[in-house]
Amino acid sequence: MERKRLRGIFLSGLFLALLAGGSYYLYQHRPAGLPVGFASGNGRFEATEVDVATKIAGRLVELGPREGDWVEAGSVVGRLDADDLSAQLRAAEAQVVQAQKAVDETRAGVRKSKADAALAGKTLKRSEELVGRGFISRNKLDSDQTGMEGAMAGMAQASSRVAEAEAAVATAQARADSLRATLNDTSLKSPIAGRVLYRLAEPGEVLAAGGKALTLVDLTDMYMTLYLPTEKAGQVAVGAEARIVLDALPGQAIPAKVSFVAAKAQFTPREVETRTEREKLMFRVKVRADPDWLSAHRDLAKGGMPGIAYVRLDPGAAWPASLPANGK
């Protein structure tokens, strides 16, 4: 009996020792909490979306990229029917040539009127000398004076016609330039470098002005929106250093910066916080991922991925070696 009692005591002591040892091991290897000087919040990784839309109405005759394709900024992704505009442009260019010839003709008229005025001036001068000597009558002098005035008026009129013809050239040129710009708008160009998210039209469709053909996602402009309580949000500064850890990439801390802090408090949306936290007024904070990191990992992070954003409140605080998976 005594032996059984001693064995029971030994086993109990061994169990307590193992329990203590296991507890100590778990304590030593427990997940590190978020240190002082940092705040965190969960959200979804979002990307900026840009539409490729028509500036003018027209029939879509070509649209190259498919969903998932990568397009470069400035590349032509589609075209509208431009036959009618091309014909109008040719007519406008012909009008420019015609107007320019009219200018040449009026300038020739100016040169002729100047020659007439010069001749009339010489004739008048001779008549004045001859009248003074009594060789011609006064009527001849008056006639030459009238001729001089008419030549000067003709020269002024010719100069006015030049200005009118030059204005016509400018008008025709402006019309041609406008048509060239409109013709250029029939080429649909990508405003950014990005991946095609949606293909919204097909060749043969007639699109109104502003009609959308593609939706692109800018993979170098991605961000996460989180909500922080008043005591934390008051310490956040725009430009503060941040990190984003996505659930799908737990070992990858994406460098980021705070790009926006709401100036007005609001309730936190239901999908991102618990009921207790929703009862508090929260501030919306936007954390934008580093564009260089996104360019180097273009197909790694994707829009819509859930994760946690960490914000450094104290510029002097050192980032922990590893960020807690639960953000606490």
Q: How far is CA 285 from CA 115, 156, 202, 225, in A?
A: 80, 72, 39, 6
What CA–CA distance (Å, rounded) separates 171 from 176?
A: 9
Domain 50-81+186-213 has CATH 3.30.70.2170: no
Cβ atoms of 244 and 309 closer than 8 Å: yes
Residue type, 223: Y
Q: What is the mean pLDDT of residues 216-238?
A: 91
In this predicted model, what pLDDT tens digit does every residue of 205-222 receive, in sequence order?
999 999 999 999 999 999
What CA–CA distance (Å, rounded) separates 31 from 321?
A: 12
Residue 86's pLDDT band (cuts 50, 70, 90): very high
CA 129-131-137 angle, to 5 degrees, is 150
Instruction: Give the residue extent of every domain in the chain.
Output: 50-81+186-213, 83-184
pLDDT at 71 over 50: yes
| φ, ψ of residue 167 in degrees (nearest 5) | -65, -35
pLDDT for residue 134: 60
What CA–CA distance (Å, rounded) separates 287 from 107?
A: 67
Q: How far is CA 16 from CA 5, 22, 25, 52, 112, in A?
A: 17, 10, 14, 70, 123
> Hey, what are 216's tokens?
């692109």
Which residue in 301, 302, 65, 51 sits closest to 192, CA to CA? 51
Q: Which residue has the higher pLDDT, 286 or 125?
A: 286
In this predicted model, what pLDDT tens digit does every residue of 120-169 receive, in sequence order?
667 656 666 666 666 666 666 556 567 666 666 666 666 667 777 788 88
pLDDT at 242 over 80: yes
What CA–CA distance (Å, rounded) separates 246 from 243?
A: 10
Residue 16's pLDDT band (cuts 50, 70, 90): very low
Mean of the per-residue pLDDT values for the chain?
Answer: 80
pLDDT at 44 over 80: yes
3-7, 41-45, 105-109, 133-137: the lowest-pLDDT one? 3-7
What CA–CA distance (Å, rounded) separates 72 from 286?
A: 27
pLDDT for residue 180: 92
Residue type, 3: R
pLDDT for residue 168: 84
What CA–CA distance (Å, rounded) separates 71 from 199?
A: 13
pLDDT for residue 72: 95
Question: Which of the given ranges, 112-126, 184-198, 274-288, has the highest pLDDT on average?
Answer: 184-198
